[in-house]
Amino acid sequence: MSGRRVGFCLSDKKRRRMNMDAFAQLCAGHGVEVVEINLTQPLASQGPFDVIIHKLSDVIVEAEHDSQSQQLLDNFQSYVSTHPNTVLLDPLSAMKQLLDRFASYRIMKKLHNSLRDWHICSPAYLEIHSSMDMSSIQKAVVTKGLCFPLICKTRVAHGSLSHEMSLIFSAGGLGDVLPPCVLQSFVNHGAVLHKVFVVGDRHFCVERPSLKNFPSGPCERQTIFFNSHEVSKPESSSDLTALDEQMPYLPTPSSEAMAALVRELRLQLGMALFGVDVIINIHTHTLTVIDINIFPGYEGVPQFFSSLLSHIESVLDKQAAAVPQDNSSYQSSSGLSAGTDH
């Protein structure tokens, strides 16, 4: 692996939180140079790169309404398309769909069929578009068979606002909905969230606190507004996560089922760096996927750096062994496209 160069393009906050300097030191010991990419400067003069690790969520979201961000994104895409041998972790098109909960929840819905034998599913959900008024939302909830309480989440799955959610307990509470957003049937899961962190063909499971159980069916309780990030922090202690009743034993997800879930999602997403939020239905013990996250923080995963380096080496070794003329359309068995973002 000597002479390999990895560029990374992350926000300052993400860079510090992930301690990319420590990752660069680890890579240097394996003959891999890690350099930070400055998006405001021409990429060609900063390259060449064998691999680019990025989380351009900020830029992608801002490009919708900001011409400067759109220009940065165009420059990045132009570089990638003219350097087909550079491996992108992960493809921009794959990341874009996870930024849109409408798109990612459609992917989650497919799990019902593909993973039925593993008793894996996702909750019933409803896309709420900006054009819908309260009356049409109420009708759609009934038509789609959603059950109260409902979790309401923003459509855009990025930024601090994406963590601001609400728990709605009745048809009247639907007046608190701010479209565009997603409504998802709340599943009682014993206040335990299983966060799955994926790094190539490896994955790691970490338990976190989560929302406590609530009685099923509509009730007069006022809408509860909460921040999912704060509720599910490792050290979180909140009334919302404190169980009020004796909880029956809940099994931990089987490693085989989790592996099957990760394999299927990597196939569906074409990504190597993502997270999955999984809960276990307290009544049916069904594994229930409630969200998919782009390039999460990997908190609590001490093997992250070594796993990421191992994945980079694996992808590049496979690429080096591939027939040269096939490089432009090369796709590794890890589900990653190298070259032009499709």
Residue 217: half-sphere exposure toward Cβ, Cα within 13 Å: 1
pTM: 0.89
35's enclosing H/E stretch is strand 32-36
Q: Residue 245's pLDDT is what?
A: 65
Q: CA-CA distance, 139 to 288, in Å (whole number)?
A: 25
Side by side, the strands of the sheet bearing 4-9 are: 32-36, 4-9, 51-54, 87-89
Residues written for the chain: 342
Q: Residue 339's pLDDT is what?
A: 39
Tokens of residue 235, six digits: 């050290």
Q: CA-CA distance, 286 to 122, in Å (whole number)?
A: 9
Whether omega before 48 lies within 30 degrees of 0, making that bond cis, reads: yes
Give ∠ CA 118-184-295 in degrees, rounded to 5.
70
Side by side, the strands of the sheet bearing 287-294 are: 120-121, 287-294, 273-280, 192-199, 202-209
Helix, strand, or coil (residue 116): helix
295 and 271 in contact (C-beta within 8 Å)?
no
Domains along the chain with CATH numbers: 4-90+301-329 (3.40.50.11370), 97-294 (3.30.470.20)
What angle do the packed helices 255-269 and 101-114 form, to 10 degrees? 130
Scan for tokens 């957003």, then name that residue: 181
Q: Residue 302's pLDDT is what?
A: 87
Q: What burial letters (b/e) apply to 86-97, b meaning 16+ CB within 10 Å?
A: bbbbbbbebbbb
Q: Residue 88's pLDDT is what?
A: 94
Q: Residue 50's pLDDT is what?
A: 95
How large is the C-alpha radius of gyration of the chain?
A: 21
Helices (H) and strands (E) in the chain, counts: 10, 14
Tens-level pLDDT at each residue, the chain (342 residues) = 447 999 999 988 888 888 899 999 999 999 999 999 999 999 999 989 999 999 999 899 999 899 999 999 999 999 999 999 999 999 999 999 999 999 999 999 999 889 989 999 999 999 999 999 999 999 999 999 999 999 999 999 988 889 999 999 999 999 999 999 999 999 999 999 999 999 999 999 999 999 999 999 999 999 999 999 889 887 777 788 887 667 777 888 999 999 999 999 999 999 999 999 999 999 999 999 999 999 999 988 989 999 999 999 999 998 888 755 444 433 433 444 333 333
Contacts of 110 (CB under 8 A, 6+ apart): 268
Contacts of 205 (CB under 8 A, 6+ apart): 194, 195, 196, 197, 253, 258
